[in-house]
């Protein structure tokens, strides 16, 4: 009896499954119709990844309000939608996709730069290569390109570097004033400083080797591989073999491994150890600046107590970049001119400055006005971005790249670099092949 019951249910499920497949894919496509409000203004919708009440959200809203004031006579009205990416990766992206499925996706969206390839390949984003002049494109430190076409313009930029405890450096008699963004230190000089710090009796540097649960470690550590002359993927983003496991790439990882084996850094450094004066240097991005300015007064009373050093260089200089960007969606409803006007407005030097003033990050454009004092941490980050900023690998398989990178870092101390790289390359290449076959 039970068998009969089970088989009936199994059959039922299979039948339903078949039907659901046959009838799948009903959702609407963008209809390209333009939306108009009661006063006859063309509505352009723009979707942001932050909460409206956050400082960043308020900065966006202010720029939207300014746009509406300026374009009142031209009959264009911008409407902001705020969808915080609070629920991890899935929240904002699910919203994005279902809007796409419903055909209600905003005309302009924000997205994280490493997603460019995946979004562009999936037909989510609109090719804006011809809409943004070459001259205008040159104003940006980085651009979101896939297969040679332009899909997004960065909102703001980020960079990272080595925060250092000036007190410890003074006590240990280390002078790093010569190492600036214009003239970065070398791998060897970096190791020398580490050795001196170790001799002084402190942990030399927190390389964030324990930050392998999310994007933190890949974001902070990938420049070392570029600096050593290595690479991760081919230009088209579909080949990892021969890049990710090349000797130059191995050299970059080996440098990090050496820092561990020589006792300069370790996995066991506590997340707050630098902030409480137990570690000499701390690898982090620009958003550590406000923390050091405000939160740890007992240890860092003023900027005389801490400073920021650039990434060290080896064969070349390379530093971390990347942030969220604006893109026009492929099924934008509003008429193109209005949408492009809003995109240009939001990506303008003026907007870039207004937004970075609120967020404390670096403007995405060279022509945005900045008033950082020469030698200040902000100045170092900006200069470094200008001179050596290098984007993370552009590939549709970026999530897999990020996972394998984390796995390599996490196993670096007790495995051989070459075998780690080979296994990571295999995983990534398999994923890339699969994505390539997805037509």
Partner 1 sequence: MLKTSLIILVLFVLAFGGFVAYDLATARKRREVYRVKSTATAYLMLLPAVALAFLFILLPILYSLGYAFTDYYLLRPNDINFIQLQNFKDFFAELSTKGTLYNAIKNTLTFVVGVVPLQIGLALLLALFVNRQGIGSKIFKVCFFAPVVISLSVTAFLWEQILAPGPNGLLNSIIGMFGMAPHDWLRDPKTAMPCIIVLSAWQGCGYQMLIFLSGLSNIRKDLYEAAALDGANWWRKFWLVTWVGLRSTFVYILITVFIGACRILTQPMLMTGYMDHTVTLSYYMYNKGYTERWVGYSSAVALLMTIFIGGITLIQRRIFREDK
Partner 2 sequence: MDGRLTKDLPNFRPNKAPVKKTVKEIIYHIVGIILSLIFLFPIIYMLATSTKSESAYAMGVGTLNMFLPDFANLGTAFENYKSVLLNYDIWKYALNSFIYAAIVIVLNILINGLAGYVMAKLRFPGKRLLSFLIIFLIVVPVETSIIPLYSIVKIMLGLKQEMSVIGVILPAAISIFNIFLFMQFFQGIPKDYEEAARIDGANTMGVFLKVIMPLSKPIIATVAVFCFIGVWNDYLWPSMILPSANDGSWPLLPIQTALISIKSIEGITTGEIMASLVITSIPIFVIYVAAQKYIVKGFGTAGLKM
**Which residues sit at the interface with partner 1, rule CB under 8 A?**
8, 12-13, 15-27, 29, 89-90, 93, 97-98, 100-101, 118-119, 121-124, 210, 212-214, 266-270, 397, 399-400, 403, 406-407, 410-411, 423, 426-427, 431, 434, 438
Which range, of 83-91, 224-232, 382-390, 412-420, touches partner 2 by CB under 8 A? 83-91
- What's the closest the beta carbon of residue 138 comes to partner 1, in angstroms? 30
Cβ proximity to partner 1: between 300 and 401 the closer is: 401
- What's the closest the beta carbon of residue 328 comes to partner 2, in angstroms? 22
> Which of positions 234-293 make contact with partner 2 (CB under 8 A)?
270-272, 275-276, 287, 290
Cβ proximity to partner 1: between 43 and 97 the closer is: 97
Cβ proximity to partner 2: between 92 and 253 the closer is: 92
Which range, of 50-58, 133-141, 307-315, 323-331, touches partner 2 by CB under 8 A? 50-58
- What's the closest the beta carbon of residue 397 comes to partner 1, in angstroms? 8
Cβ proximity to partner 1: between 364 and 428 the closer is: 428
Put residue 58 in one of left, alpha, beta given phi > 0 → left and psi -120 to 50 → alpha.
alpha
3-state secondary structure the chain: CHHHHHHHHHHHHHHHHHHHHHCCCCCCCCCCCCCECCCCCEEEEEEECCCCCCHHHHHHHHHHHHHHHHCCCCCEEEEEEECCCCCHHHHHHHHHHHHHHHCCCCCEEEEEHHHHHHHHHCCCECCCCCCCCHHHHHCECCCEEECCEEEEEECEECCEEEEEEHHHHHHCCCCCCCCCCCCCCEHHHHHHHHHHHHHHCCEEEECCCCCCCCCHHHHHHHHHHHHCCCCCCCCCCCCCCCCCCCHHHHHHHHHHHHHHHCCCCCCCCCCCCCCCCCEEEEEEECCHHHHHHHCCCCCCCCCCCEEEECCCECCCCCEECCCEEEEEECCCCCCHHHHHHHHHHHCCHHHHHHHHHHHCCEECECCCCCCCCCCCHHHHHHHHHHHHEECCCCCCCHHHHHHHHHHHHHHHHHCCHHHHHHHHHHHHHHHHHHHHHCC
Cβ proximity to partner 1: between 8 and 301 the closer is: 8
Cβ proximity to partner 2: between 51 and 127 the closer is: 51
Q: Per-residue x/- marks for partner 2, 314-353, CB under 8 A?
A: ----------------------------------------
* Residue 17 binds partner 2 (CB under 8 A): no
- What's the closest the beta carbon of residue 27 comes to partner 1, in angstroms? 5
- What's the closest the beta carbon of residue 86 comes to partner 2, in angstroms? 4
Cβ proximity to partner 1: between 105 and 283 the closer is: 105
Cβ proximity to partner 2: between 119 and 275 the closer is: 275
Cβ proximity to partner 2: between 12 and 36 the closer is: 12
Picked from partner 2, partner 1, none, the partner binding residue 95 (CB below 5 to 8 A depending on kind) is partner 2
CB-based burial, 3-13: b 16+ in 10 Å, e otherwise: eeeeeeeeeee
Picked from partner 1, partner 2, none, the partner binding residue 375 (CB below 5 to 8 A depending on kind) is none
- What's the closest the beta carbon of residue 272 comes to partner 2, in angstroms? 4
- What's the closest the beta carbon of residue 298 comes to partner 2, in angstroms? 5
Terminal C-alpha separation, the chain: 47
Q: What angle do CA 79, 84, 86 make, to 5 degrees?
A: 170
Picked from partner 2, partner 1, none, the partner binding residue 19 (CB below 5 to 8 A depending on kind) is partner 1
Among 51, 136, 210, 236, binds partner 2 (CB under 8 A): 51
- What's the closest the beta carbon of residue 287 comes to partner 1, in angstroms? 20
Contact residues: partner 2, CB under 8 A: 5-6, 9, 27, 51-56, 82-84, 86-87, 90-91, 94-95, 98, 101-102, 270-272, 275-276, 287, 290, 294-299, 359-360
């Amino acid at each position: 009896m039970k068998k009969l019951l089970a088989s009936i249910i199994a059959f039922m499920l299979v039948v339903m499954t078949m039907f659901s497949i046959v009838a799948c894919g009903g959702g609407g496509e963008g209809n390209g119709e333009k939306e108009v409000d009661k006063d006859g203004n063309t509505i352009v919708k723009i979707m942001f990844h932050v909460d409206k009440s956050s400082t960043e959200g308020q900065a966006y809203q202010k720029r939207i309000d300014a746009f509406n004031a300026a374009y009142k006579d031209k009959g264009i009205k911008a409407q902001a939608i705020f969808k915080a990416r609070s629920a991890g990766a899935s929240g904002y992206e699910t919203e994005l996709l279902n809007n796409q499925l419903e055909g209600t996706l905003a005309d302009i969206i924000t997205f994280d730069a490493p997603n460019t390839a995946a979004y562009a390949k999936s037909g989510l984003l609109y090719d804006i290569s011809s809409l943004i002049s070459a001259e205008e494109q040159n104003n940006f430190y980085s651009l979101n390109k896939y297969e040679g076409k332009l899909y997004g313009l960065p909102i703001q930029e980020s960079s990272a570097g080595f925060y250092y405890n000036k007190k410890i450096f003074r006590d240990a008699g280390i002078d790093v004033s010569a190492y600036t963004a214009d003239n970065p230190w070398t791998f060897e000089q970096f190791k020398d400083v580490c050795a001196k710090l170790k001799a002084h009796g402190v942990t030399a540097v927190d390389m964030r080797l324990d930050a392998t649960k999310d994007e933190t470690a890949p974001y902070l550590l990938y420049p070392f591989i570029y600096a050593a002359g290595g690479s991760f993927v081919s230009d088209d983003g579909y080949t990892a073999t021969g890049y990710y496991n090349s000797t130059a790439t191995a050299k970059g990882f080996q440098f990090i491994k050496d820092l561990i084996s020589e006792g300069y850094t370790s996995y066991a450094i506590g997340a707050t150890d630098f902030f409480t004066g137990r570690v000499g240097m701390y690898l982090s991005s620009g958003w550590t600046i406000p923390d050091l300015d405000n939160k740890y007064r007992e240890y860092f009373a003023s900027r005389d107590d801490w400073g920021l050093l650039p990434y060290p260089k080896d064969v070349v200089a390379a530093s971390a970049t990347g942030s969220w960007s604006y893109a026009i969606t492929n099924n934008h409803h509003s008429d193109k001119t209005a949408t492009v006007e809003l995109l240009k407005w939001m990506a303008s030097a003026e907007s870039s400055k207004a937004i970075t003033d609120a967020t404390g990050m670096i403007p995405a454009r060279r022509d945005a006005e900045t008033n950082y004092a020469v030698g200040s941490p902000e100045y170092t980050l900006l200069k470094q971005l200008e001179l050596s900023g290098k984007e993370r690998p552009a590939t549709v398989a970026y999530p897999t790249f990020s996972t394998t990178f984390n796995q390599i870092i996490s196993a670096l101390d007790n495995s051989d670099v070459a075998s780690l790289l080979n296994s990571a390359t295999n995983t990534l290449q398999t994923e890339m092949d699969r994505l390539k076959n997805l037509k």
